Amino acid sequence: MDMWRGIPREEIPWFPTIDDSKCTGCGECLSICKNGVLGFDESSRTAQVTNPYNCVVECSTCARLCPTEAISFPDQAAFSEFIKQKLATGEKP
């Protein structure tokens, strides 16, 4: 997806962050996300964000289903405000 609501996807800061200290490498997130956002790092034995802009904007299924709560997303209120401002100004590259 190149655009979301008329905003270039690479300008939208919506993608997961993984806390390596909490990730057990169970692979649950890898099986849930079908968009290639996540990969597995063999050396650390943890999930990694490999393609952040493949993440579907406002999807946080992997975080909700992570058994160790190792995955987080931007604050929803701050993100909503960012999108409102971006849409109101019609700011485009």
Domain spans, the chain: 3-89
* pLDDT per residue as tens, the chain (93 positions): 689 988 999 999 999 999 999 999 999 999 999 999 999 999 999 999 999 999 999 999 999 999 999 999 999 999 999 999 999 887 554
Threshold 0.85, pTM exceeds: yes
**Residue 90, pLDDT score:** 72
Which residue from 57, 58, 47 is spatially nearest to 17, judged by alpha carbons? 47
CATH placement of domain 3-89: 3.30.70.20
Q: How far, in Å, CA of 50 to CA of 39, rounded?
A: 6
**Residue 91, pLDDT score:** 58
**12 Cβ neighbours under 8 A, 6+ residues apart:** 4, 53, 57, 83
**Residue 93, pLDDT score:** 42
On the CB side of 45, CA atoms within 13 Å amount to 5
The CA–CA distances, whole Å, from 57 to 4, 42, 68, 89 equal: 8, 28, 23, 20
DSSP 90: T
